[in-house]
Amino acid sequence: MKIAVVGTGYVGLVTGTCFSETGNQVTCIDIDQKKVEMLTNGEITIYEPGLEKLFLRNLKEERLVFTTNLEEGIKDAQIVFLALPTPPGEDGSADLRYVLGVADNIGKLLTDYKVIVDKSTVPVGTAEKVHAAIAKNCKVEFDVVSNPEFLREGVAVDDFMKPDRVVIGTSSEKAKKYMSDLYAPFVRSGNPVIFMDERSAELTKYAANSFLATKISFMNEIAQLCERLDADVDMVRRGIGSDERIGKRFLFPGIGYGGSCFPKDVQALVKSSTEVSYDFQILNAVMDVNEKQKLHLLPKIRKFFKGDLKGKHFALWGLAFKPNTDDIREAPALYIIDALLAEGATVSAYDPEAMNNVKSVIGDKIQYAESQYDALTGANALIIATEWNEFRTPDFLKIVSNLKSKVIFDGRNLFEVEAIGELGFHYESIGRPA
Ligand code: UGA
């Protein structure tokens, strides 16, 4: 099929590349000329494991092309995906300016039937707004479909190629046929394509992310309780996760959820609820718990250093909001850095992928180390903020020889409490005995 993808951000680039991988002819469109030039020249603009190989292969086969020209880009397409940003506005609601702006332009350019697909996370009712924006200037038949994406950063290619489910919101039989044909190669394993109305599809995305965020905040509160009741959250997690109704995944306590999706989507769903006079109480609590959890290590650190962090130097492992990404949006590490610096401490950080991004935001407020071990030199303690695999079985002898004292505050529960205690470390983690 012939596909156009408007917006070559994270979702757009993964979507375009993966559709070209199954043999479709894909044109990706972006207003950012520099980005389009880079992509055309084979320079990938995001870090996502496994994506570059697919991107280069399909670029070479000319199944994947990039342009800044919307008219040219959508001309031959049967399906046009909108993968545009929906940043939170000042009041927390999703800002639809980019989505509706492009819809407006598409309306002026349509000359034959096309399916226009909302891939961005958008509030309930957006498909109708996109439809109206296109219809304003358009004389030909078209359909607007809601097809939310459920990709996780770091495993996005796998999530796209082998989705647990594909959700498609449309009331048009014609659009339904186009979308079924397009997704057929991705659901050969038997995972479902779930058809529904546009509004339910839009809400499904917010409900999924909000439910997962709730699961995390719930476990973070159980971890808080474990610390006060001398219980071990790892045991409780395994104990409840074996119940299939609860499930083993997404039960890991830590220093809060971050990233570009959960914080924004939970907030937007609360805002949408308020607009229809519904007080979504659970989600307000989920947000509150998460705000506090991001700084959960701080009281522990303060207590250990008897309330005085002035002049103390900390090694920080991990800056990205989670492993396998260079994304630092709403990363707990940044909140920890702010708090430490405000109390007069200094920080030397290491992250395998995210250091350049942090540098472009906070510059030289902290030091950036060449390796995880270099970060430790002269530090009073090590703080772990992201569970990169390379932090999981480190060389403890090197840690001991570089750190000033054997102290670790672990926001991701990477080590066995007993084993690390035997090595002589003062070790504090989340929801487990100190
Ligand atoms: C999330 C969803 O998982 C995707 O399905 C969705 O498509 C995406 O948002 C989106 O809306 O675009 P992502 O933000 O990439 O994906 O990250 P996740 O892997 O879901 O992790 C989110 C946060 O939860 C991270 O900060 C992570 O550290 C935290 N987390 C996750 C925990 O604290 N505990 C867990 O057990 C799992």
281 and 309 both lie in a single domain: no
415 and 315 both lie in a single domain: yes
Collect all residues with Cβ–Cβ distance below 8 Å to 75 and sequence separation of at least 6: 111
CATH number, residue 247:
1.10.1040.10
- Round to whole Å and give the CA distance between 426 and 304: 10
Residue 241 structure tokens: 């996760």
- Round to whole Å and give the CA distance between 119 and 117: 6
Cβ(251) – ligand 1 distance below 6 Å: yes
The verdict on residue 434 lying in a domain is no
For residue 349, report the distance from its CA to the centre of ligand 1, in Å.
23
Domain finish residue from 196, 227, 253: 196
The verdict on residue 278 lying in a domain is yes
For residue 9, report the distance from its CA to the centre of ligand 1, in Å.
18
Number of domains in the chain: 3
* Ligand 1 pocket: which of 149, 216, 328, 329 to mutate (most atoms within 8 A of CB): 216
The verdict on residue 240 lying in a domain is yes
Collect all residues with Cβ–Cβ distance below 8 Å to 349 and sequence separation of at least 6: 315, 316, 317, 319, 333, 337, 355, 358, 366, 367, 368, 369, 375
pLDDT tens for 73-83 read: 999 999 999 99
Name the residue at shortest CA distance from atom 1 of ligand 1: 152
- Round to whole Å and give the CA distance between 25 and 57: 13
Give the model's pLDDT for residue 144.
98
- Round to whole Å and give the CA distance between 241 and 197: 33
266 and 185 both lie in a single domain: no
272 and 373 both lie in a single domain: no
Between the two ends of the chain, the Cα-to-Cα distance in Å is 58
For residue 25, list its beta bridge partners.
Answer: 2
104 and 247 both lie in a single domain: no
- Ligand 1: nearest atom to the Cα of 321: 26
Give the model's pLDDT for residue 298.
98
Residue 433 structure tokens: 């005995």
Give the model's pLDDT for residue 93.
80
For residue 197, report the distance from its CA to the centre of ligand 1, in Å.
26
- Round to whole Å and give the CA distance between 17 and 52: 9
Give the model's pLDDT for residue 27.
98
Give the model's pLDDT for residue 23.
97
377 and 262 both lie in a single domain: no
340 and 216 both lie in a single domain: no
20 and 96 both lie in a single domain: yes
For residue 277, report the distance from its CA to the centre of ligand 1, in Å.
28
The verdict on residue 168 lying in a domain is yes
Give the model's pLDDT for residue 213.
98
The verdict on residue 254 lying in a domain is yes
Following DSSP, what letter does each residue of 39-104 receive, concatenated?
A: HHTT---S--TTHHHHHHHHHHTTSEEEES-HHHHHTT-SEEEE-----B-TTSSBP-HHHHHHHH
The verdict on residue 120 lying in a domain is yes
CB 198 within 8 Å of CB 128? yes
Q: Mapping DSSP to helix (H, G, I), strand (E, B) and coil, where does residue 344 land?
A: coil
CATH number, residue 19:
3.40.50.720
Alpha carbon 304 to its chain's center: 33
The verdict on residue 172 lying in a domain is yes
280 and 301 both lie in a single domain: no
Expressed as residue numbers, the domain containing 229 is: 205-293
Domain finish residue from 163, 196, 229: 196
The verdict on residue 433 lying in a domain is no
348 and 334 both lie in a single domain: yes
Can you list the residues of the chain whose pLDDT is less than 50?
none
Name the residue at shortest CA distance from atom 25 of ligand 1: 257
Domain finish residue from 174, 196, 218: 196
288 and 320 both lie in a single domain: no
376 and 234 both lie in a single domain: no
Give the model's pLDDT for residue 88.
82
